[in-house]
Each structure stands twice: as structure tokens, then as C-alpha cells.
Amino acid sequence: MRRYLLAALLLAPLGACAGNSGNAAGTAPTGTDTAVAAAETPLLMAFRVPVCIARTAVLFPVAIASAIVPFSKSKEGSGVEYWTTNAKADCGPPYVVTPAQVSTEP
């Protein structure tokens, strides 16, 4: 009985993904998507600015330490490469939410 339950729990998410008939990536955004994007943009900036400032400042000592003692086989690189990669991810674009991003969200 436990095997059937385990199989059902493992296969249920796959069925949910296959049965999703929501907006496809190629569909045009609606007016609602534009309104949601306009409402989300200030929230994105209110979240992004403090994260950019705080995380960049926190990662700077780590970047200096990893420049002295490099990480072994890190995919982000070591030292300044690590710091710039994370700074670009936190502080870089996109700065606004587009209706296309809203329409493709589940």
C-alpha cells in the first residue's frame, strides 16, 4: 500500500504540469497583465534597492578574502569575478516588470 502512495505522490506533480492550460509563452498579454505589471514595478524597486546595497556591501569582504584564497572550482569565479557576478544579478536589469513577464507566470 505504501508503494502506491509513494508512486502517487511522485507522479501527481507531473500530471499537474501536463494539465496546465494557462497562458502560454506565445500569448499576448491582457489589460490585467499591464495593470499588474504597473503595480508590481514599485514593489520590485522597493525590494531590489535595499537588496542591492546590502548584499553588495556584505559580499565585498568575501570577494577580497576569495581573491587572497581562491575558491576551488567555483562556477561564479573567485574574488572580483564573484563580486561582480552577484552585483550584476542583484543590481542589474530588469528594472521594470513587463506585461509579458506577468502573463507567463503560473
Q: Could you tell me if residue 13 is inside a domain?
A: no
Query: Hey, what long-range contacts does 30-37 have (CB within 8 A, 24 or more apart)?
Result: 30/99, 30/103, 33/99, 33/100, 33/102, 33/103, 34/99, 34/102, 36/97, 36/99, 36/102, 37/96, 37/97, 37/98, 37/99, 37/101, 37/102
For the segment 28-77, what is each residue's pLDDT rounded down to a tens digit? 667 787 888 888 888 888 888 898 899 888 888 888 887 787 766 666 66
Residue 95 DSSP label: -
User: What integer pLDDT is reported at residue 15 of this predicted model?
Assistant: 52
Q: Is residue 2 part of a domain?
A: no
Residue 19 belongs to some domain of the structure: no
Cell of 15: 500530471
Assess whether pLDDT exceeds 60 at residue 21: no
- Tell me the residue range of the domain where 59 lies: 30-104
Report which of residues 9 and 81 the model is more confident about: 81
Per-residue pLDDT at 18: 47
Rg (CA), the chain: 21
Identify whether 61 is preceded by a cis peptide bond (ω within 30 of 0).
Answer: no
Domain count, the chain: 1
What is this structure's pTM? Answer: 0.51
* Residue 24 in domain: no
